[in-house]
């Protein structure tokens, strides 16, 4: 998945799920891992890392 798309997904997760974005993304990663989709789970882990970066950014607000 291109880098820009990972960031877009992270932003969309935050927009849709606010404070729960990381949890929801983690659940999706876990579901894919349990189904044996290592690549899909890895993609969601990359999205989680970007969610963390976006929500740690100075001035970041999920309101």
Domain ranges of the chain: 3-55
Mean pLDDT estimate for the chain: 93
| Cα–Cα dist 34/24, whole Å | 15
Q: Mean pLDDT, 10 residues at a time, over the chain (63 residues)?
A: 97 97 98 98 98 83 54
Q: Which residue has the tokens 């976006």?
A: 54
What local confidence, expressed as pLDDT, does residue 58 receive?
A: 72
Give yes or no for a contact between 19 and 45, defined as CB atoms under 8 angstroms apart.
Answer: no
| pLDDT (tens digit per residue) in 26-40 | 999 999 999 999 999
| Rounded Cα distance, 28 and 49, in Å | 14
């Amino acid at each position: 998945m291109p880098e820009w798309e990972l960031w877009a997904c992270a932003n969309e997760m935050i927009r849709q799920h606010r404070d729960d974005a990381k949890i929801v993304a983690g659940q999706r990663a876990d579901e894919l891992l349990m189904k044996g989709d290592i690549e899909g789970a890895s993609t969601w882990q990359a999205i989680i890392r970007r969610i963390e970066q976006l929500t740690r950014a100075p001035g970041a607000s999920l309101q």
